[in-house]
Amino acid sequence: MPEIVDRMPDPFPSKKNLKHKYYMLRHGQSTANIAEIISSSRSLAYSDKHGLTSVGYEQGKESANQLLDVLEQDIIQAGQKQNKIIFISSPFARAKQTAIACIDGLMNNKDNQQKVETMGLTIEKDITFEHGLMERYFGRLDDDSIYTYGYVWPMDAINVTHTAFDVESVAAVCTRLSQVVERCEEKYCDDETIQHHIVWVSHADVLQIGQLYAANAENVGRFSSYRFKNGEVRAVKFTTDSLPDPSPLEAPKRGTTRYTELSEITTTTSS
């Protein structure tokens, strides 16, 4: 079971207080995406279940192009430091395989090879697995239809500590991400001549929550309006004006089955 918390953690560290640069990469299309089911069980860590489709692997390879584009400006700002890319991944198969695919795209594509050389990048081929980047746990909704997200996300926007259906709260996800940052900052601090560019390979809810947490958004619970596509890369930014345009969820229409179910759930969990 995920940690239960009663409040948000301390704010995400500011840019000036971080030694390293951070990036977020959502996994490519997975078999769970195709099946339209929620895949969050902790038993999936280090298993091969719900890995990438062939399309998903290609999305992972293509993410290398996005990553190099995003890295370019940060490398200019790094000055004379050496620049090293490190991949830190959720241990779920779809994330691990996306990290492998991105490294493949960086190292085995001629155009990207040239960019890597021109930018003076070195790439750490060994992937580090981090439990703090696992999918948000969806409790009793695990293995259910993805449409049941619609029962949870509206409640997230109201209460970031709710655990309806035994789901992991938004605040709990932020708490583990803050711990991931601490571990990364401590682990890669041995050589000040190297600028580490750390790529977190993770899952939609975790990254969407993380980007609002890092940007010090007023309500991190509205994360579902700032969606990551499969294989999408974004740099971690620290202000709300860096966020993409929101695409808010449509509220269920009064009189529909979903509206009735959501009303009953909200009433039950708030009483």
Model pLDDT for residues 224-252, shown as the tens digit of each residue: 999 999 999 999 999 999 998 888 666 55
- Which domains does the chain show, CATH number per domain? 17-270 (3.40.50.1240)
Tokens standing for residue 248: 């808010």
Helices (H), ranges, 159-203: 170-187
pTM for the whole thing? Answer: 0.91
Angle formed at CA 30 by CA 28 and CA 35, multiple of 5 degrees:
145
Chain centroid to Cα 148, Å, comes to: 20
Q: How far is CA 36 from the centre of its chain?
A: 19
Residue 235 pairs in a beta bridge with 23
CA distances from 139 to 2, 136, 162, 199 (A): 9, 9, 12, 27
Tens-level pLDDT at each residue, the chain (271 residues): 678 999 999 999 999 999 999 999 999 999 999 999 999 999 999 999 999 999 999 999 999 999 999 999 888 766 667 899 999 999 999 999 999 999 999 999 999 999 999 999 999 999 999 999 999 999 999 999 999 999 999 999 999 999 999 999 999 999 999 999 999 999 997 788 899 999 999 999 999 999 999 999 999 999 999 999 999 999 999 999 999 888 866 655 555 555 555 555 544 444 4
Contact assessment for residue 172 and residue 206, using Cβ atoms and an 8 Å cutoff = no
Residue partners of 186: CB distance under 8 A and separation at least 6: none
